[in-house]
Amino acid sequence: MPTRAEKFAGLSVAIVTPFRDGKLDSARLKQQIDVQAEAGTTCICPVGTTGESPTLTHDEHERVIAESIAASAGRLLVMPGTGSNSTAEAVRLTKFAAKAGADAALVVGPYYNRPTQQGIYEHFKALAEAVDIPICIYNIPTRTGRNIEPETIIRLAELPGIAMLKEATGAMDQASQVLAATDLTVLSGDDSMTLPLLAIGGRGVISVVGNLVPADMKALYDAFEAGDLQQARALHVKLFSLCRDLLGLASNPIPIKAAMALVGRDTGEIRLPLVPLEQPLVVKLRQALADYGLAVQPA
């Protein structure tokens, strides 16, 4: 049975925000989007957690959205992060994304101020009523401090503007409850949970490791869709090892940016309060990338 935003099924990649000498690197951003287009990625998600949105100025945030849409040039869907713990700010940024030509908006649950479930409902309702593009609820309680309960998501699904859920709780029971009660397009927010989520009705992933190996992440989804569970499981195991060895080193996006620098795809620059990966961990990361079969630049 088709889900509400079926065109977003497949591989979406939460792209990094490239910096050079502390400033946005537009040329590198375009290069990275070109890589995703060539890999057959369905959608890119700029300025999310992986895109270091908390450290971007408002002008930078808008610039990355606009430049990502321009660089995609219709080859990929674009679903930028437009969330905030201020409803008014989230509405403003989501309106900007819609006007700039975004295909959808990825909106994280309000963080830090820990609203009630009713407050969360009213927050997303205000967004859904403010724009015509689909809204993807991003539920990641380890970062926001507040779970969006399945009952709240089911209520929100009654609003036509709410189309997707990025599921990053790790709770398959919660995802199952939403899938059983709604036609939302549910996407994995955790690379290593992609296959389990597909198995219960999920329709894809918003991937971090897809910055490095989009073709492999796409192949996992394609194998599952084709009914080749043996191949899907084999890719899950292969990718799980990379995800464990990569994302377990430090908070995202520190390891993915370090990895992209090691394979020559980024400068690796990040902004405070994030700091570069410690040298002993860089050694481990270098080995993990080599073990996966990626060509790593000489030390």
Q: Render pLDDT for 158-170 as a digit per residue (tens, 0 to 9).
A: 999 999 999 999 9
Under the banding of pLDDT at 50, 70 and 90, the label for residue 247 is confident
CATH number at residue 48: 3.20.20.70
Rounded Cα gap, residues 7 and 62, in angstroms: 24
- Please indicate, yes or no, if residue 248 is contained in any of the structural domains: no
Query: What number is the average pLDDT over the span 111-124?
Result: 97
For residue 118, tell me if it sits in a domain: yes
Give the structural domain span for 115.
Answer: 6-226
Task: With cut-offs at 50, 70 and 90, classify the pLDDT of residue 242.
Answer: very high
**Residue 184: pLDDT band by 50, 70, 90 thresholds?**
very high
42 lies in some domain = yes
**Which residues are within 8 A (CB) of 218 and not within 5 positions of it... i.e. 6 or more apart?**
10, 11, 39, 40, 41, 210
pTM of the entire predicted model = 0.97
Tell me the average pLDDT across 272-288: 96
Has residue 1 got a pLDDT over 90? Answer: no
Catalytic residue numbers read 138, 166
User: Could you tell me the sign of the dihedral formed by the alpha carbons of 179, 183, 188, 194, in that order?
Assistant: positive
Task: Note the helical H segments in the chain.
Answer: 26-39, 58-72, 87-100, 117-130, 141-144, 150-156, 172-181, 194-199, 214-225, 229-247, 254-262, 279-292
pLDDT at 20: 97
In-domain check, residue 48: yes
pLDDT band at 109 (very low <50, low <70, confident <90, very high): very high
Residue 273 lies in a domain: no
The answer on pLDDT for 299 being more than 80 is no
Q: Per residue in 20-79, pLDDT tens?
A: 999 999 999 999 999 999 999 999 999 999 999 999 999 999 999 999 999 999 999 999
- Listed as own residue / partner, the contacts of 67-74 with beta carbons closer than 8 Å and 24 or more positions apart are 67/26, 67/29, 67/30, 68/15, 68/29, 68/33, 68/44, 69/100, 69/101, 69/102, 71/29, 71/30, 71/33, 71/34, 72/33, 72/37, 72/44
Write the burial class of residue 209 (CB in 10 Å: 0-12 exposed, 13-18 middle, 19+ buried). buried
Residue 180 predicted with pLDDT over 80:
yes
- Asked if the structure places residue 191 within a domain, the reply is yes
Domain count, the chain: 1
